Amino acid sequence: MVFECYLIPKMTPKFKPELVRRPRRLRRSVALRRLISETVIRTDDLIAPLFVRDGTGQPEDVESMPGVVRHTIDTLVETCRALAGLGIPAVALFPCLAAQLKDAEGSRSLDEEGLILRAVRAVRKACPDLLVITDIALDPYTTHGHDGLLTADGRDVDNDRTVEVLARMAVLHASAGVSLVAPSDMMDGRVGAIRSALDESGQTETGILAYSAKYASAYYGPFRDAVGSARVEGAPYLDKGTYQLNPSNRREARMEIELDVREGADILMIKPAGPYLDIIREVRDAIDLPVAAYQVSGEYAQIHAAARLGWLDYKRCRDESLLAIKRAGADMILTYFAQEVAESSGAP
């Protein structure tokens, strides 16, 4: 048997590219990577959403949102003091009313001694420098869970009748001392109506943080559990598609944003945040007003759930999710991670 040996000649390339640019030079150490970070989450960027209920005693856990609770007014005040001490500039308050206080017209939304206004006054007294934002929508107050009043046949939300109530509601909240009212209902014309009502009542300094592009998202489920606005047992699926944005639409979001700018919004909000980073970026590039993004309950819950199963690194995914929202162009982020991020050094 004959074996043939083949000698492979040493190849000398005729051309060796000169790597003048080696991007990895600036990734070699943690210190270098920190030094050239383009996007940084600061405590100043964070708004903490908080839930409040009537009664006394300890807060109630929200089962679908680990670490999130329904506060009493007393524990809400304690938490707000802690958040202010951490440097978080703002909280967004959401009421959870007892079922017997709800009706089809959401009449408790205009109660001057209602839960949310008592909570606002208590927080403002305890933390005068903390910005307080309140939700302007009827879903926490209605038995049907919709963000507005229903039409006579009960098959849709009556836009103009709802806007009248929202404008009155905004004036009550401004009188209680909120810094920003945040209409989340997506009714046509509500920003302009609220601005006019605030100005006519002398509340010219109260700003409007408009939920300008709020999508009919599947990510809201845990929030609805927290405020008790999920559908009534035995009722059909709570479809908000006639007023919230179609998740497939980008141009429609741009139109809604432009309308809110013309009607007097001070800050524009995109909700949810993570699944709609393209919308955040488009708004940031096109509009000069501040842009907010709401990292919603479902985004929060899925990170917790996957981490508990050992499928994701909790802290790294939490921080990366916030960085992505800020990198997309959000000036401020409503997130249920606010307190723990601030506690763990103030930035991811």
> Who's near 143: CB < 8 A, 6+ residues apart?
99, 102, 103, 104, 232
Q: Does residue 19 form part of some domain?
A: no
- pLDDT at residue 145 in the model: 87
157: domain CATH number?
3.20.20.70
What is the predicted pLDDT for the residue at 18? 78
Provide the 8-state DSSP code for 245: B
pLDDT at 244: 93
> Rounded to two decimals, what is the model's pTM?
0.90
In a domain, 32, yes or no: no
Q: What is the pLDDT of residue 223?
A: 79
Quick check: is 31 in a domain? no
DSSP 120-169: HHHHHHH-TTSEEEEEE-STTTBSS--SSPBPTTSSSB-HHHHHHHHHHH
Q: Is residue 288 part of a domain?
A: yes
Average pLDDT per consecutive 10 residues, the chain (348 residues; last block may be shorter): 55 68 92 93 96 93 92 97 97 94 94 96 97 96 92 91 97 97 96 98 97 94 72 57 94 97 98 97 96 96 96 97 98 97 70
Q: Which domain holds residue 65?
A: 39-343
In this structure, is residue 13 part of a structural domain? no
Please check whether residue 34 lies inside any domain of the structure. Answer: no
Q: Structural domain tally of the chain?
A: 1
Indicate which residues carry an active-site annotation: 214, 271
In a domain, 12, yes or no: no
CB 126 within 8 A of CB 80: yes
Tell me if 321 is assigned to some domain: yes
Q: What is the pLDDT of residue 251?
A: 96
